[in-house]
Structure 1
Amino acid sequence: MDYAKLFRLDGRGAVVLGGGSGIGREAARALAAQGADVTCADRDLGAAEETARLAGDSAKAYRLDLLDTAAVERAATELGEPDVVVLTAATNVRKRLLDYSREEFDRVLSLNLGATFDVLRSFGAGMVERGRGSIVVFSSIRSITVEPGQSAYAATKAGIVQLIRTAAAEYGPSGVRVNAVAPGVVETPLTEPIKADPEWYRAYAEKSALGRWADAGELAGAVVYLASDAASFVTGSVLLVDGGWTAVDGRYVPPGA
C-alpha cells in the first residue's frame, strides 16, 4: 500500500448531496482537494454553483430536491457512476413533544430519514452492481444523547445509524462501504437560532471537552477519511466528531479536581 496516497481520491467521482452550504460545502471542497471529480447537488442551484466554484475547475453543480424520490432516482442515473456519495442535508424543528404537530414531525422525518432511505437505495444499487463505492451519511450526537425539543430530529439521526448499518451489511459482500459521521455542535445555517442566543451558544460550547463549537470545515476530514482507501476496512461505523461531547456529557468537576 502506498501510504503517501492513502487519502487521495484521484480519478474517483464524488457526489455531495446538500453541498450548497455548511458541512456539505466544506466536504465537497475537501474531496476535490484530494483529487475527486465532485458534483455539488443541492435544492438551491445557485448555492451549489458557488460550492462548485470554490471546489475548483473539475467540480460541477446539480439541482436536486431530496424530498422528490423520483428526482433522487434520476440523479443516481444522470450523475454517472460515482465512487463516493455524501449526504449532509437535514432539517430540524425544535419543539417539545406536546407542542409538535404531525405535519412538523413528518417534515423532519421526510428529509432526514426518508431522503437517506432513497439515497441508500438509488445510489447504492449502482455501487452494488459495479462492486465498489463508499457512502457517507451524516447522523448526529443526537442519535445518542438528547435534550428537550429534539424528539423528531434525534429519532431520525438514530434511525440513520440503523439504516447505514443495515446497508453496510447488505452491500458489503459487493465491496460497498456505508458509514455515518456524527457531529456535535457545528457552525452551520441550521444552528443559526442557537448562535443568536449568547447564553445558549456558550452552554453548548462548554459541553464539549474542547470547550468550543466546530467549524464546518472540521468535519471534512472525516468525510475524506471514510471516502478514501484509508478506511478500506471500515463499514457500518459511526464516526463521532463532537469535540468530546459524548465522552464528557453530564460531567461534574469535583471541588479541587
Structure 2
Amino acid sequence: MRDYANLFRLDGRHAVVVGAGSGIGRESALALAAQGARVTCADRDLDAAEETTNLGNPADPVPSVAAQVPSQLTSYELDVLDPAAIERAVAELGEVDVLVFTAATNVRKRLLDYTGDEFDRVVALNLRASFDLVRTFGKAMAERGSGSIIGFSSIRATTVEPGQSVYAATKAGLVQLLRTAAAELGPSGVRVNAIAPGVVETPLTEQIKAHPDWYSAYAEKSALHRWATPDELAGAVVYLASDAATFVTGSVLHVDGGWTAVDGRFEPPN
C-alpha cells in the first residue's frame, strides 16, 4: 500500500538545483527543501545562491538542533560552462538523488541578423552545459541505481516567433536530449524529464516586460490571460522529483497556462 500522505515528501534525499540564485531555480530549491530534501543551491553567482539559502534556512535555529542537523540548503559555486567544474561538483557533492537545472540565456534577434558568436553563446549554455550536466550527474545516478533529472525546456520548443530561432532550437534539442537520456538511463533506475514553462516573470524576460504592448500580448495568449510567477513552476519540480512520479520519465510537462493548447488569436462569437 503506497503512503499517499507522504507522496511528495523528499526526506533524506539530496537535490542539486543549478541556477538556484534567482527565478525558477530559486523557487525550486525552496520548494524541494520545504518537502524535506537537503538542497545544494548551485549557481555561477555564489552571492545569489547564498541569498537563496538564507531565504530557506531558519533565521534563528535552535542551537541544540543546529549542532546536530546541517542546514537544509547550502550554497555551491558552479560555472556550468566549464565541464571540469561539473566533474568536480559530482565528486565534491556526494550522492545526488535529484538534479534540477534551469540556467539559460537568449539573444532575441532575427535569424539573418544573428552572429556566429551569439549562436555559440546560446548553444553553449542552453544545450552543451545541459549535456554535460546530464552526462556527468546521470552517470553517478546510474551507477547507484536511482535518481531524477529535471531540465527546463520552454514553450519555444514547439511554438516559435520571430527573434527566437536559436533559443527555440536549443530548447527543442534539450527535449530530445532528455528523452534519449530517459531511454538510456531508465534501465538503471534514473528518471529524466523536462518542464516547459510558458511566459514567466524572470530576469530572462525583462526585455518583454519593458514593452507594455508586448507584455500584454503575451498575457492574453494564455488561457489564464496572465504571466506566471516563478513559484508556480516549483510544484512541477517537486512532483517530478518525488515518488508521485515514479513511473514518469521521458515526458515534457507543460506549465504554460494553456499557451500551447489554445490558438488565442481570436475568440469567435457564439
TM-score by length of 1: 0.98
Aligned residue number for residue 215 of structure 1:
229
Specify the SS of the correspondent of 1:116: helix
Alignment correspondent of 2:119: 105
Is contact 2:152–2:195 with CA below 8 Å preserved after alignment?
yes
Displacement of 1:249 in angstroms is 3.0
Residue 24 (structure 1) aligns with = 25
1:238 aligns with 2:252: yes
1:143 alignment counterpart = 157
Q: Partners of 1:70 and 1:197 in 2: how far apart?
A: 40
Q: Which amino acid aligns with 1:15?
A: V
AA of the residue aligned to 1:222: A
Matches within 5 A, 1:45-56: 45-56=46-57
* Structure 2 residue aligned with 1:134: 148
Equivalent position amino acid for 1:84 in 2: V
After superposing on structure 2, the runs of 4+ consecutive aligned residues of structure 1 that deviate more than 3 Å are none
1:64-106 deviation per Cα after TM superposition (whole angstroms, max 9, x unaligned)? 0010011011111111111000000000000001100000000
Counterpart of 1:123, as a letter, is: F
SS at match of 1:224: helix
- Give the SS at the match of 1:180: strand
C-alpha distance after superposition, 1:131-159 (max 9, x if no partner) = 00000000000000000000000000000
Distance 2:203 2:128 in 1: 21
Aligned residue-pair number = 256
Q: Is the 8 A contact 2:220 2:264 kept in 1?
A: no
**CA shift for structure 1 position 55:** 1.9
SS in 1 for 2:176: helix
Match of 1:165 in 2: 179
Cα displacement (A) at 1:250: 4.7
The equivalent of 2:72 in structure 1 is 58
Output the CA distance in 1 between the equivalents of 2:179 and 2:202: 26
CA–CA distance in structure 1, aligned partners of residues 218 and 44 of structure 2: 29
Q: Tell me by how many angstroms 1:252 deviates.
A: 2.7
Kindly report which structure 2 residues correspond to 1:192-231, keeping only aligned pairs within 5 A, or say none.
192-231=206-245
1:86 aligned onto 2:90: no
Instruction: Name the residue aligned to 1:69.
Output: 83
* C-alpha separation in 2, matches of 1:128 and 1:251: 45
What is the rounded CA distance, in whole Å, between the counterparts of 1:54 and 1:172 in structure 2? Answer: 35
Distance in 1, Cα, partners of 2:56 & 2:17: 12
CA distance in 2, matches of 1:209, 1:77: 45
Aligned-residue CA RMSD (Å): 0.7
Query: How far apart, in 2, do the equivalents of 1:84 and 1:152 lie?
Result: 28
- Where does residue 123 of structure 1 map in the other structure? 137
Distance between the aligned counterparts of 1:251 and 1:202, measured in 2?
A: 13
Q: Secondary structure at the match of 2:130?
A: helix
Unaligned runs of 5+ in 1: none
1:180-195 aligned at under 5 Å gives the runs: 180-195=194-209
Structure 2: any 5+ residue segments left out of the alignment? 58-70
TM-score calculated relative to the size of structure 2: 0.94
Tell me which structure has the larger Cα radius of gyration: 2
Q: Secondary structure at the match of 1:245?
A: coil
Partner secondary structure for residue 150 of structure 2: strand
Letter in 1 for 2:233: L
